Each structure stands twice: as C-alpha cells, then as structure tokens.
Structure 1
Amino acid sequence: MILFAVIDIVGSIPIIIDLRNKVGHIQSEKASVVAALIMVAFLFIGEEILNLIGIDVNSFAVAGSFILFFLAIEMILGITLYKDDAPETASIVPLAFPLIAGAGTLTSILSLRAEYHVENIAAGIIINIIFVYIVLKSSKKLSRILGQSGLAVIRKVFGVILLAIAVKLFSANVTGLF
C-alpha cells in the first residue's frame, strides 16, 4: 500500500493522458517492464549504488522531494516548468523513470527494506506494476470517461496529494543531512 501511494498512478492519469496526446502512443508494456526492473534492481543494489557515487539515502530522498514538489506545482497551477524536446514515444522516459519509478518510489523501497522482508517488497512491486500496466493500457478510455473537467479535478486533487508527499519526504529526510 505504501508503494501504491508513492507511485500514485491514479494521480498520474492526467500526466499520462497529456503524454498520450503529445506523442500519440504510450508503450505500456515497455514502460511497465522497465519500471519494474528499475524498482527490483534498486531493491537489491540501490543503497550500494548510492554509496558508490557518494550519495546518502537522505540526500537522495531530499532531491526526490524537490522533483515531486515541482511536478505537484505543475499539476496544481497548470504550468510547465520542465521543457524538453517532444519525445517520439513515451515509455522509458518520462513514464518508467521518473513518473513510475522515481526518486520517491526508489527512496520508499530503500526505507521499506529496513522494515519488511525482500520477498514482500518484491511482491508489492509486482502487484503495483500490474496495476500500473492496466492504467497505462486503458488511459485512452479513461480520458474519454473523465473528460476535460474530470481530468482537471483529478490533476488538482492529486497535485495537492503529491505536494504533501513531497513535503513529508523532505521533512523526514532533511534533518538527516545535518
């Protein structure tokens, strides 16, 4: 359930639909598999990778909170802070990483590893990825059902939730930096 809240694929529906409108096609299978591989790899070797490059978990979490913060600001205010060349397809970037398997998700996986067995976390990752795949695959249908006003409401509500997650991630980890 913690991963479900952090991945927040339901709250990402407006972003996914915007991506689909920009690029025309979302590679649901590829995005789901790559996100699952990133999360499972991070479950087993994430802390070692961070230590290898000299980054502690708290710094990674605070950096992730900034990313989540700016994504939330974009959702709430309806502005675009990050501008990039329009991708031809949306699969690995920005769907698999950083939308699904972003800094908040990866930090949560490291935190969960201290409390739960690896097998349970891996099962949670698989269950979440199945749900992510279903949402990605049905994004066109969800767009028709929700309409523009429904998407706007979901974007604002989940933007505030994402902002709260960013603040919580920041406040929980900023003291560990000092």
Structure 2
Amino acid sequence: MIDWAGILRELITIFVVIDPIGSVPVFLFATAAVPVELHRRFAARAVLIATLVLLGFLVAGQYVLELLGLRLGSFQVAGGVVLFLFALSMIFGDSKPADEINQAERDHLSGAVFPLAMPSIASPGAMLGIVVLTDNRGNTVAEQAVTAGLLVAVLLFTLLLLLAAGQIFKIIGNTGASVISRVMGIILATIAVDSIFNGFEVLGIINVTG
C-alpha cells in the first residue's frame, strides 16, 4: 500500500530545503552581467549540476559522512559559513564593470556552478535533507526511488522558475534586480547564521531555545 502521507511529507521537505523560489533572486544576481541569450543555458547547467550533486548525496551521502567520521553538525556549520560569505557578496557587491560584460562565454557560464548550483540550489541544507530522507541502511530501493523522483520533480520546477526569471528581469530592470539581491542577501545571511547556530546545537556546543 502506498504511503501517500509519507510521500507528501517528503515532497514538502525537499521543496523547503531546496527552496526553488529563493533561487530566483540568486539567479538574477548571478546573471546580471550575462548576455540574455545565455540565460537558458545558464539555468539548465545550474539545475543539472545541482541534480547530479543531490542525487550523489542521495545514493552515497550517508556512507561518505560515516566513512570520513564527519558529524552533521560540523557540516551545518561549514555550510552556514559558505552561505554567509556569499550573502555578504550579494549585499555589498559592486556592479559588474563594463569590461566584465564582454568576457568569454566560458566565464559567463561558470557562474552556474557557484553561486547558483551550489550553494543556492544544492545547498548544505538540501544535502543534509537528502541524506536524512534516504536512510541507506533502512530504506528499500523502492523507497529511495520515490525520494529520487520527488527530488527530480522539485528540481524541474526550479528550472521552470529560473527560465521565467528572465521575464521578471525585463520588468524590474537592473535597479530592481539590485534591490532584490540585497534584500535576499540579508535574508540569506540570516539563514546562514541560523544554520551555524543549529550546527553548534547539534554538536552540543550551545543550547538554543525558542
């Protein structure tokens, strides 16, 4: 018998940790100096890379962490620091100079890896969430296949949102994108700090209440 309630819980969990909507402002920020004709390839490359990373964590993430003797709390702290540094670049970063706009296509598309694919889409929280959902020692192959299907579905939805982000950019322009990136940078910085504190709590360094 299919556990629809469990599937729904997994879908909601994956959607929250990947946060497709939250990746749209990051996409606009990352493509600010990228030619419009490259935006689709930029989005597709970012989602493809994020998919490969998250599927990798789905298959072997738990084994890798156990093999290396790493604690989940340490992973959360490290991920939070990376997110915080990126958030600072969103808040205080300068506009791209004119000479960077004329860079090679290779350089434009390299931004699809960082910051869009990681740590925006395949964030530390998403990686941890996938590891938790796919208990490689307890779940059956069928259960892991369902989780993989839900993961791919959320990532496809993320791709659709990123493809539509170009139309949003035409409406809000450079000024609007700048405002959004800084506001989202503040929010991302808050999320990063929260991730660091959660990691400290998991490690038993502090006790966060409320």
2:139 is the alignment partner of 1:108: no
Q: Which residue of 2 aligns with 1:166?
A: 192
**SS at the partner of 1:22?**
coil
Residues 11, 154 of structure 1: 8 Å contact kept = no
Q: Which residue of 1 aligns with 2:149?
A: 123
Match for residue 79 of structure 2 among 55, 64, 73: 64
Q: Closer, same or farther in 2 for the Cα pair 1:90/1:99, shift >3 Å?
A: farther
Question: CA offset at residue 120 of structure 1?
Answer: 4.8
User: Which letter maps to 1:146?
Assistant: I
Question: CA offset at residue 129 of structure 1?
Answer: 0.7
Question: CA offset at residue 63 of structure 1?
Answer: 0.4
Question: CA offset at residue 42 of structure 1?
Answer: 0.3
User: Which letter maps to 1:3?
Assistant: I
TM-score calculated relative to the size of structure 2: 0.67
Which one has a bigger Cα radius of gyration?
2
2:100 is the alignment partner of 1:89: no
CA distance in 2, matches of 1:164, 1:123: 31
Residues 83, 119 of structure 2: 8 Å contact kept = no
Q: Closer, same or farther in 2 for the Cα pair 1:163/1:3, shift >3 Å?
A: farther
Q: Closer, same or farther in 2 for the Cα pair 1:6/1:158, shift >3 Å?
A: farther
Residues 6-63 of structure 1: CA distance to partner in whole angstroms, max 9, x if unpaired? 3334333333223323343242333222211211120121121223334222211110
Q: Closer, same or farther in 2 for the Cα pair 1:53/1:166, shift >3 Å?
A: same
CA distance in 2, matches of 1:156, 1:88: 21
Residues 26, 120 of structure 2: 8 Å contact kept = no
Q: Closer, same or farther in 2 for the Cα pair 1:32/1:91, shift >3 Å?
A: farther
User: Which letter maps to 1:42?
Assistant: F
Could you list the runs of 5+ residues in structure 2 that have no partner in the other structure?
1-11, 95-99, 205-210
Q: Closer, same or farther in 2 for the Cα pair 1:74/1:21, shift >3 Å?
A: closer
User: Which letter maps to 1:67?
Assistant: V
Q: Provide the identity percentage.
A: 30
Could you list the runs of 5+ residues in structure 1 that have no partner in the other structure?
none
RMSD: 2.9
2:167 is the alignment partner of 1:141: yes
Question: CA offset at residue 153 of structure 1?
Answer: 4.0
Q: Closer, same or farther in 2 for the Cα pair 1:120/1:91, shift >3 Å?
A: farther
Residues 119-167 of structure 1: CA distance to partner in whole angstroms, max 9, x if unpaired? 4532331222112211222232121122344334432443333233223
Q: Which residue of 2 aligns with 1:78?
A: 92
Q: Closer, same or farther in 2 for the Cα pair 1:19/1:160, shift >3 Å?
A: closer
Q: Closer, same or farther in 2 for the Cα pair 1:33/1:16, shift >3 Å?
A: same
Q: Closer, same or farther in 2 for the Cα pair 1:18/1:154, shift >3 Å?
A: closer
Question: CA offset at residue 111 of structure 1?
Answer: 3.2
Q: Which residue of 2 aligns with 1:37?
A: 52
CA distance in 2, matches of 1:168, 1:40: 25
